[in-house]
Chains A and B, each alone.
Chain A
Amino acid sequence: MKSVALHNRLTSLLLKSITLLLFFAFSLSSYSQDVDEARQKEGRKLFKSLCASCHKLDKKLIGPALGGVEDRRENDWLKSWIKDNAALRSSGDSDANAIFDEYNGASMTAFPQLTDQNIDDILYYTTVGDPVKKGAAVVTEAGQKSNESPKWLIYILAAAIIVAFLIIASLLKTISELKGAPKTPGAIASLNEVWEGFKQNTFLKVMCTIFILLMGAYVVFGTLFKVGVDQDYMPLQEIAFSHKIHAGDNKIDCQYCHSSAKHSKTSGIPTANVCMNCHKNISEVAEDTKVEWDGMTYGKAELDKEIAKIYDAVGWDADNLEYTGNTKPIKWVRVHNLPDFVYFNHSQHVTVAGVACQKCHGPVEEMDEMYQYSPLTMGWCIDCHKATKVDVKGNEYYTKIHEQLAKKYNVEQVTIAQLGGKECGKCHY
């Protein structure tokens, strides 16, 4: 066992050092291509904040693709266009007016605040593109692999050791028997002896019966109580939507998409138009994005197709950048299903109580594929209601009732249950 772990650690170390070496070699080689990292970084920052909502490097968005734009236009022309394109157009510049007409008279925002240096940085970025970071990706991948492997390996090895031990034991026994040693009473015979003794001991029999019945009852109850409890339920969705990318990596607030959680009983599944707030501009994932989906690893090729599914649903023509009007609803599979006879209100928990979404839904920001984190049983609800103190500060609704109840129960802060959150009719009607 120990040796295996040691071996593992050794391998990972070895792998890491090799990849690290590779990485340095690679980056050194790429750096040798005259890329001014500082300028690229500055330019990228400016581009992302000012230009990216309408332009991409390699693709037409609201405005034209800007990759290698310096090869196509004069630097001075670009500067005057960026600073004030309207002035350039009114000065009668034919190129400016042509591009204006090409994009159906959609005028670009003027950026008089940019200095020449800024613009040069942006243009530099459009020429050299994004910094390459393939090496880093290898490192993380390798690291992950080395961390994941032991679990099943350990089980197999343990099983093998036990089998081996048994074989050795039986071999040893046979050898000694062959050597002429007297036959010791076998394990079976000694078991028989124990059984005879057991049969005569009434007390032991009664105790065992009770024990077996209790165990049986425990198992049966345990099984029955799990009926209808769908904890860890992870249905396959129509679109490989990763909460990890959205809520985790990009840190989008839960309620940006689930906006009715603060107003309504339902948290609301975001409608496709909410997706389009961002995905109008984001038609593809970054190069190295990976999502674990239905037992497979989805890369850029697969994930871009998933984004296209939103376009399909909302009727967005990604080539001509316009809505076609042909919409069809997305059929998500409900992960969290409460029975009809339970009333649950998100806004009570989210807005009034200020409960974090993760408290019930788990580490959603780490989930590629969404699953039911909590059991959603009544016991689970009640346990929380019993334990949680009501946050009454700053809410005038509670002022009077809390004062009275705190006095009644002789506590500083009442729990939800003491406030009536354990009554049947509060959730069942």
Chain B
Amino acid sequence: MASNKKYWQSVEELKGSSIVETLSKKEFVEEIPTDDFLGDKETLENSSTSRRDFLKYVGFTTAAASLAACEGPVRKAIPYVVKPNDVTPGVADWYATSMADGYDFANVLVKTREGRPIQIMPNKDANGTTSARVQAAVLSLYDEKLRLQEPSKGGATITWSDADKEIAAKLNELKEANKPVVLLTGTMASPSTSKIVEEFIAAYPNISHVVYDAVSESGAADAMLAMYGKRTLPNYHLDKAKTIVSFGADFLGDFHGGFEKQYIAGRKPETGDMSYHIQFESNMSLTGANSDKRLVLKPSDQVFALLNLYNIITGSNVPSKTTSVDADVNAAAKSLQKAGAKGVVLTGLNDKNAQLVALAINKALNSEIIDVNNTLNVRQGNDTEVAQLVSDMKSGKVAGLISYNVNPIYSLSNSSDFSEGLKKVELSVALSIENNETVDASTFALPTPHFLESWGDTQFDQVTYGLMQPTIQPLFNTRQIQDVLLKWTGNSVSYYEYLKGFALTNVLNGASWNTALHNGFHKKEILEVEETTVSDIVISDVASQLLKSTKASAFELNLYTKTGLGDGKQANNPWLQEFPDPLTRASWDNYLTMSIADARALGFANPVKDNGAINGDYAKVSVNGKELVVPVMVQPGQAKGSVGLALGYGRTFGLKDEMKVGVNAYTLYTNGNNIQYNVSIEKVSGTHKFACTQVQKTIAGRHDILKVATLKEYNSSADPKHSWNKPAFVSYDHNEVEASTINIWDEHNREIGHHFNLSIDLTSCTGCGACVVACHAENNVPVVGKNEVRVGRDMHWLRIDRYYSSEVETREEAKELGLSRGDTYRALETEAENPEVTFQPMMCQHCNHAPCETVCPVAATSHGRQGQNQMAYNRCVGTRYCANNCPYRVRRFNWFNYSNNNEFDFNMNNEYGKMVLNPDVVVRSRGVMEKCSMCIQMTQVTILKAKREGRAVDTDEFETACSSACTTGAMVFGDVNNEKDQVATLAKDKRAYHVLDYLQTKPNVVYQVKVRNTNEA
């Protein structure tokens, strides 16, 4: 029964640590040290500022401030000289384009204001989705610190024409001598670029093209090549799946670019049916956290379990080993067989053989979910070729290297070999958007534009052809790789003309170029995908190879990518650094995740300090003779005998000091393999300070926050009000009455005009955090930095709370069950080894009966008729009474000025970074409280648009930043007084509930009970 669960946010809380309890009672964890200072006579007397001085300063500053206030500054207004036709100052323009940075691929819409892109949203017509990283990419455009700005040779600036001349001469020289040159790029997924590269190679036959992805999925592509004869990634139509079995595939994360949208489309309880998802994994991943059944299994056991599953499904007997979860594998097999063609097996092991086994299982199932025709082009990296290139370079066989937006010196495990080889090449050219180690080590550094400044095309799958168009004039002296290659090929046509010609002749098939450009994509009418031929693979051979390469050991390392930083391309992006990891809730760090049992055995712990921050111990991780000292984060749900470490951190070259966080896990990423065996771990001295938003915001034992039901319960005829969605009862006049029947506030009529509600479906929310970054971009939410996050001063208006659950509620309950002291601990810990995880986006609830409004002494926060709890920053005097009285802990206080302040050297402290600010929302100053406004600037724009056009507001026309960014449709915003709006129905749904409804604050944010499909199989 759902209500028996205890939800907890940290291991410390579960253990009932007194610190956590104390912290949970305080909104602001740090005491203001007035007593320390004023109470101590000595410090007072030793202070260099005497009382008289103090009064002088006060007097002077007050006088100065009032004098300065008497005359306003002279402000200039500088219009365009010639206004571009499509720009109306003050009105946003939207452009459809595509993102492709080598790791993240998306069809997007870009909001521009006066020629500056300020926000990225999914292009829903093109079936586009955005993740936190795609959302944040707009800020990376303005990264004046990391971006290359001028072409240079050996560190000295040169002109493009000189660079062209010198490089072309050298290329021709190498061509004459027939010395090999390599073009090293990441995955580009661009048909026209592929053609340009082909032509370039035709002009210089000594050039070969190697594709290198920092985070590799080479194994899956190689397996496809072996079995289906083409080196792409299979597509998965998870929306149609009945049973999904995944072995460490984080398909809600970065596995094949992510399948979040499809997955959630197959999990809508109101259809009466949901897919059944079993996840075998070692790290606690976003996918595992969302699964119906999660089995913790260290990587080697995952291989055995996969082979066991193959044996059961196909009835064969390939060599394998028994695992502790064989019964569950059996059950999974049964479920898969029952689902038949609607079942699918995925594996995240970057190993050709493991992928082949998964493909074979899907073939045996005759799975319709896996699509090997309409395949994905988003990871084309080839580990074998890259390894070959590095060894060739080292032995001096490569005469020239042209790299494009890759940074092997940072991201290769054998980067020293690469650096050594790079010194031996005669010509090294780095085309790059950013200044990094590899660019620095190359002779020529040629700046390329950001995707928001570029023309281009994309082909992520075989059906949707996407177009990329510039949304801003290039900020720096950049040139696109396509233009560069065309020039070096001797083609004088510009890439824009080339692209247009290419699209018109090869893709558009008579359709209009302008329409395609406007839409940002073109759906190919006929599925031009050829049926792929299946070659027979002997799985028993594959299996024995797989077994040979699987070296089960005491500790196994599973390298993974975090939702925030991914492969590390945007490591200098403060939004992403401050983005808390959905699971550990830690920002500004990577760390070794370790199971509770292992941590106890090895003596690691995460003590909570009295300021609410979390500390950690350091571990020395040794793999293949390489060592790395990493802080340890104890992670519930981590498989015993396994540890996890995120890639993408530990970059230092060219980054701002604040962003040089974490350790570079790529050094352990040998051969691009995300699983490393034979790992040894040793505790070393030192204490690491984590910046975790995890413990600060416990919910003070109020467990009416989260409601979870099973699909069976949901489908049963029982009244939800009496079973899985019980309303709160309170004691009134010595009787238990439903909380909604009494209230200490007066009721107002809320049926006139608009009344906004936001519905959040906890079943559909995967915790991906795209909304968190969208909120940052839309509302000018400041970045505060690691130290401030550590003491609980993060400014996120929208956070995603993560709750772990265990079946035994409290120690008191355990006592009632008659458990001994030892048994109690054991019972609690057994659950904690693999807890259920639920995500809950939390922002201002816009209570109709708002406790914060009642206590504001200056009426700075008040209620609008449209349901929004409004915050007038200019009226706020910073008493923080409201935050203390808010039961949801969603009000954030501005402790400092975060703009134009060198102490906070993030995007609001430089001219480029400030270009991303939304001009319709004020940048708040020090000393005021701020919080979610329900994007009142967006609702106002929608209303005004309707008024100008003299019409009523359309159905579902209202949007907020979070609801439009939401990939899965978990967040729905609208007007409940418009019956046709989706939210009007959702607000009355049988799953709908309000958080802490016993308080009767009557929030305008409605949550939908989380439904899990746990009853199956």
Q: Is A129 interfacial (CB 8 A cutoff)?
A: no
Instruction: Evaluate contact between A425 and B920: CB separation under 8 angstroms.
Output: no
| A interface, size bucket | 35 or more
Closest to B90 in A: A264
Q: How far is the CB of A339 from chain B (nearest CB, A)?
A: 7
Q: How far is the CA of A204 from the CA of B974 in the complex (A)?
A: 65
Instruction: Evaluate contact between A340 and B870: CB separation under 8 angstroms.
Output: no
Q: Is B730 interfacial (CB 8 A cutoff)?
A: no
Closest to B74 in A: A333
Question: Which of A230, A273, A404 meets B752, CB within 8 Å?
Answer: A404
Instruction: Evaluate contact between B78 and A405: CB separation under 8 angstroms.
Output: no
Q: Is the interface of A mostly helix, strand, loop or mixed?
A: loop
Instruction: Evaluate contact between A337 and B75: CB separation under 8 angstroms.
Output: yes
Instruction: Evaluate contact between B81 and A329: CB separation under 8 angstroms.
Output: yes
Instruction: Evaluate contact between A428 and B874: CB separation under 8 angstroms.
Output: yes
Q: Is B38 interfacial (CB 8 A cutoff)?
A: no
Q: How far is the CA of A214 from the CA of B40 in the complex (A)?
A: 44
Instruction: Evaluate contact between B749 and A314: CB separation under 8 angstroms.
Output: no
Instruction: Evaluate contact between B72 and A228: CB separation under 8 angstroms.
Output: yes
Question: Which of B83, B870, B875, B946 meets A271, CB within 8 Å?
Answer: B83
Contacts of A228 in B (CB 8 A): 69, 72
Instruction: Evaluate contact between A424 and B870: CB separation under 8 angstroms.
Output: yes
Q: How far is the CB of B935 from chain A (nearest CB, A)?
A: 9
Q: Is A268 interfacial (CB 8 A cutoff)?
A: yes
Q: Is B80 interfacial (CB 8 A cutoff)?
A: yes
Instruction: Evaluate contact between A340 and B89: CB separation under 8 angstroms.
Output: no
Q: How far is the CA of A315 from the CA of B864 in the complex (A)?
A: 51
Contacts of A420 in B (CB 8 A): 753, 864-866
Question: Which of B79, B868, B948 meets A329, CB within 8 Å?
Answer: B79
Instruction: Evaluate contact between A347 and B76: CB separation under 8 angstroms.
Output: no
Instruction: Evaluate contact between A334 and B76: CB separation under 8 angstroms.
Output: yes
Instruction: Evaluate contact between A333 and B82: CB separation under 8 angstroms.
Output: no
Instruction: Evaluate contact between A397 and B872: CB separation under 8 angstroms.
Output: no
Q: How far is the CA of A429 from the CA of B862 in the complex (A)?
A: 13
Q: 8 Å CB contacts to B: which residues of A390-429? A: 394-401, 404-405, 408, 420, 423-426, 428-429
Instruction: Evaluate contact between B749 and A408: CB separation under 8 angstroms.
Output: yes
Q: Is A131 interfacial (CB 8 A cutoff)?
A: no
Instruction: Evaluate contact between B948 and A347: CB separation under 8 angstroms.
Output: yes
B-contact bits for A185-226, CB 8 A (1 contact / 0 none): 000000000000000000000000000000000000000000
Q: How far is the CA of A140 from the CA of B265 in the complex (A)?
A: 80
Q: How far is the CB of B943 from chain A (nearest CB, A)?
A: 8
Instruction: Evaluate contact between B82 and A425: CB separation under 8 angstroms.
Output: no
Closest to B779 in A: A429
Contacts of B81 in A (CB 8 A): 271-273, 313-315, 327-330
Q: Is A127 interfacial (CB 8 A cutoff)?
A: no
Q: How far is the CA of A227 from the CA of B70 in the complex (A)?
A: 6
Instruction: Evaluate contact between A329 and B872: CB separation under 8 angstroms.
Output: no
Q: How far is the CA of A327 from the CA of B943 in the complex (A)?
A: 39
Q: Is B873 interfacial (CB 8 A cutoff)?
A: yes
Q: How far is the CB of A395 from chain B (nearest CB, A)?
A: 5
Q: How far is the CA of A266 from the CA of B91 in the complex (A)?
A: 9
Q: How far is the CB of A160 from chain B (nearest CB, A)?
A: 35
A343-B920, A423-B865 as given contacts; A401 in contact with B752, CB under 8 Å? yes
Q: Is A112 interfacial (CB 8 A cutoff)?
A: no
Question: Which of A260, A339, A401, A423 meets B89, CB within 8 Å?
Answer: A260
Q: How far is the CB of B975 from chain A (nearest CB, A)?
A: 11
Q: How far is the CB of B874 from chain A (nearest CB, A)?
A: 4
Instruction: Evaluate contact between A270 and B79: CB separation under 8 angstroms.
Output: yes
Q: Is B744 interfacial (CB 8 A cutoff)?
A: no
Q: How far is the CB of A194 from chain B (nearest CB, A)?
A: 39
Instruction: Evaluate contact between A347 and B944: CB separation under 8 angstroms.
Output: yes
Q: Is B337 interfacial (CB 8 A cutoff)?
A: no
Question: Which of B91, B871, B951 meets A263, CB within 8 Å?
Answer: B91
Instruction: Evaluate contact between B752 and A408: CB separation under 8 angstroms.
Output: yes
Q: Is A54 interfacial (CB 8 A cutoff)?
A: no
Instruction: Evaluate contact between A265 and B90: CB separation under 8 angstroms.
Output: yes
Q: How far is the CA of A428 from the CA of B83 in the complex (A)?
A: 29
Q: How far is the CB of B62 from chain A (nearest CB, A)?
A: 13
Instruction: Evaluate contact between A235 and B870: CB separation under 8 angstroms.
Output: no
Q: Is B739 interfacial (CB 8 A cutoff)?
A: no
Q: Is A147 interfacial (CB 8 A cutoff)?
A: no
A260-B88, A268-B90, A425-B871 as given contacts; A332 in contact with B79, CB under 8 Å? yes
Instruction: Evaluate contact between B952 and A337: CB separation under 8 angstroms.
Output: no
Q: How far is the CB of A218 from chain B (nearest CB, A)?
A: 19
Question: Which of A272, A273, A348, A426 meets B864, CB within 8 Å?
Answer: A426
Contacts of B946 in A (CB 8 A): 397
Q: Is A269 interfacial (CB 8 A cutoff)?
A: yes
B-contact bits for A248-279, CB 8 A (1 contact / 0 none): 00000000000010011110111111100000
A330-B79, A429-B921 as given contacts; A423 in contact with B88, CB under 8 Å? no
Instruction: Evaluate contact between B937 and A429: CB separation under 8 angstroms.
Output: yes
Q: Is B996 interfacial (CB 8 A cutoff)?
A: no
Contacts of B82 in A (CB 8 A): 271-273, 314, 327
Instruction: Evaluate contact between B922 and A341: CB separation under 8 angstroms.
Output: yes
Q: 8 Å CB contacts to B: which residues of A265-303? A: 265-266, 268-274
Instruction: Evaluate contact between B862 and A423: CB separation under 8 angstroms.
Output: yes
Name the residue among A235, A405, A420, A425 with the largest chain B CB count within 10 angstroms: A425
Q: How far is the CB of B702 from chain A (nearest CB, A)?
A: 28
Q: How far is the CA of A339 from the CA of B943 in the complex (A)?
A: 23
Instruction: Evaluate contact between A329 and B78: CB separation under 8 angstroms.
Output: yes
Q: Is A331 interfacial (CB 8 A cutoff)?
A: yes
A329-B80, A332-B78, A429-B933 as given contacts; A340 in contact with B923, CB under 8 Å? yes
Closest to B84 in A: A271
Closest to B859 in A: A424
Q: Is A345 interfacial (CB 8 A cutoff)?
A: yes
Contacts of B751 in A (CB 8 A): 404
Q: Is B947 interfacial (CB 8 A cutoff)?
A: yes
Closest to B862 in A: A424
Q: Is B463 interfacial (CB 8 A cutoff)?
A: no
Instruction: Evaluate contact between A428 and B873: CB separation under 8 angstroms.
Output: yes
Contacts of B868 in A (CB 8 A): 425
Q: Is A115 interfacial (CB 8 A cutoff)?
A: no
Closest to A395 in B: B950
Question: Which of A230, A315, A329 meets B72, CB within 8 Å?
Answer: A230
Instruction: Evaluate contact between A425 and B864: CB separation under 8 angstroms.
Output: yes
Q: How far is the CB of B790 from chain A (nearest CB, A)?
A: 30
Q: Is B50 interfacial (CB 8 A cutoff)?
A: no
Q: How far is the CA of A270 from the CA of B946 in the complex (A)?
A: 26
Q: Is B2 interfacial (CB 8 A cutoff)?
A: no
Q: Is A352 interfacial (CB 8 A cutoff)?
A: yes
Name the residue among B868, B946, B948, B953 with the largest chain A CB count within 10 angstroms: B948
Q: Is B388 interfacial (CB 8 A cutoff)?
A: no
Question: Which of A329, A404, A408, A425 meets B933, CB within 8 Å?
Answer: A425
Instruction: Evaluate contact between A333 and B77: CB separation under 8 angstroms.
Output: yes
Q: How far is the CA of A340 from the CA of B920 in the complex (A)?
A: 9
Q: Is B936 interfacial (CB 8 A cutoff)?
A: yes
Closest to A378 in B: B874
Q: Is A351 interfacial (CB 8 A cutoff)?
A: yes
A-contact bits for B861-901, CB 8 A (1 contact / 0 none): 01011101011111100000000000000000000000000
Q: How far is the CA of A168 from the CA of B413 in the complex (A)?
A: 106
Q: How far is the CB of B1004 from chain A (nearest CB, A)?
A: 13
Q: How far is the CB of A242 from chain B (nearest CB, A)?
A: 18
Closest to A405 in B: B752
Instruction: Evaluate contact between B74 and A235: CB separation under 8 angstroms.
Output: yes
Q: 8 Å CB contacts to B: which residues of A343-358? A: 343, 345, 347-348, 351-352
Q: How far is the CA of A400 from the CA of B978 in the complex (A)?
A: 11
22 examples of A-B residue contacts, CB within 8 angstroms: A227-B69, A268-B89, A270-B79, A271-B83, A329-B81, A330-B81, A341-B874, A348-B947, A352-B948, A394-B950, A396-B950, A401-B752, A401-B753, A408-B752, A423-B864, A423-B870, A425-B870, A425-B871, A425-B936, A428-B870, A428-B871, A428-B873
Other 8 A-B pairs with CB < 8 A, given A397-B953, A420-B753 = A269-B77, A330-B78, A330-B81, A331-B77, A341-B922, A345-B944, A352-B948, A401-B753
Which 4 residue pairs are nearest across A and B when measured between Cβ atoms?
A425-B870, A264-B90, A424-B872, A266-B90
